[in-house]
Amino acid sequence: MPSPVAQAVLQKLPLGVELGLVTYNWGRDWTLPELLRICQQTGFRGVELRSTHRHGVEPSLSKAQRREVARRFADSPVVLVGLGTACEYHSPDPAQLKKNIELTKAFVLLCHDVGGTGIKVRPNALPRGVPTEKTIDQIGKALNQVAAFGQDYGVQIRLEVHGHGTAELPVVARIMQVADHPNATVCWNSNPTDLKGKGLEHNFRLVASRLGDTVHIHDLVSDYPWLELFRLLKSVKYQGWLLVEESRQTTDPVRVMKYYRALWQYMLALA
């Protein structure tokens, strides 16, 4: 049972906000049963499965294999928040753009079949020699296309704030002006570029109304202004998942994840 101090902190946590894991480095080498067991053991309530990692949840799965993944999550208290893809829409090559749109649709079908609620996609660059507005328009229109497809299957499209030039929040805001389909959302990624220009609060407000069900967070003892971000999320009554996407490996993930959850709880309550 939590101590009286811990109970007081937990009572201050905003309702509808949960901690989860992106299998970026922590979890990349775990099988699905290992992942579910460790997340349950450490109090991580949900998971975003990164494509190409050992758990093997990929569009190539058969119908029977998809049912098995769905069953494993149904039998576990850990929630399948969604799938993390590398689908991107900035390439000036029409064939490459079409390939990424079709791959996105394949992940939407996979996500639906295994019981997830959304997929992460990304912009990854502003290509040299291409007018910025042309790339922004192309990304936004591609997002509208896959968002409409995803809506038919109950799968949210989550655009991760990512990439050279495209990780700038004013650029993301312009993309989302084109991508006006309600199923196209933003996945805040807690990047250093969030602080550029007029600062964190200004940049946050540019996309706050388009936030989806996931926010990516990283090292909570870094110089990033985590308390300010958590206050901003509270100010817009954000309800969704704060997903740990950690770039560093650890030899003792269970212990580190337990510490991380404890720190997250206290910081979120303090905010």
Contact 249, 25 (CB under 8 A): yes
- Here the CATH number for the domain that contains residue 154 is 3.20.20.150
pLDDT, tens digit (0-9, with 9 covering 90-100), for 7-48 = 444 444 455 899 999 998 888 889 999 999 999 999 999 999
* Amino acid 54: pLDDT: 79
**pLDDT tens profile 72-125:** 999 999 999 999 999 999 999 999 999 999 999 999 999 999 999 999 999 999
| 1: three-class secondary structure by DSSP | coil
Amino acid type, 201: E
Q: Which residues contact 7 (CB under 8 A, 6 or more apart)?
A: none
Number of domains in the chain: 1
Burial-class residue 20 by CB neighbours within 10 Å (0-12, 13-18, 19+).
buried
Of the listed ranges 50-64, 75-89, 161-175, 229-243, the least confidently predicted one is 50-64
* DSSP letter string, 166-227: TTSHHHHHHHHHH---TTEEEEE---GGGGSTT-HHHHHHHHGGGEEEEEEE--TTSSS-HH
What is the pTM (predicted TM-score) of this model?
0.93
- Look up the domain containing 118 and give its range: 4-270
pLDDT (tens digit, 9 = 90+) per residue, 215-225?
A: 999 999 999 99
- Exposure string for 131-157, b = 16+ CB within 10 A, e = fewer: eeeebbbbbbebbbbbbebbbeeebbb
pLDDT for the residue 4: 47
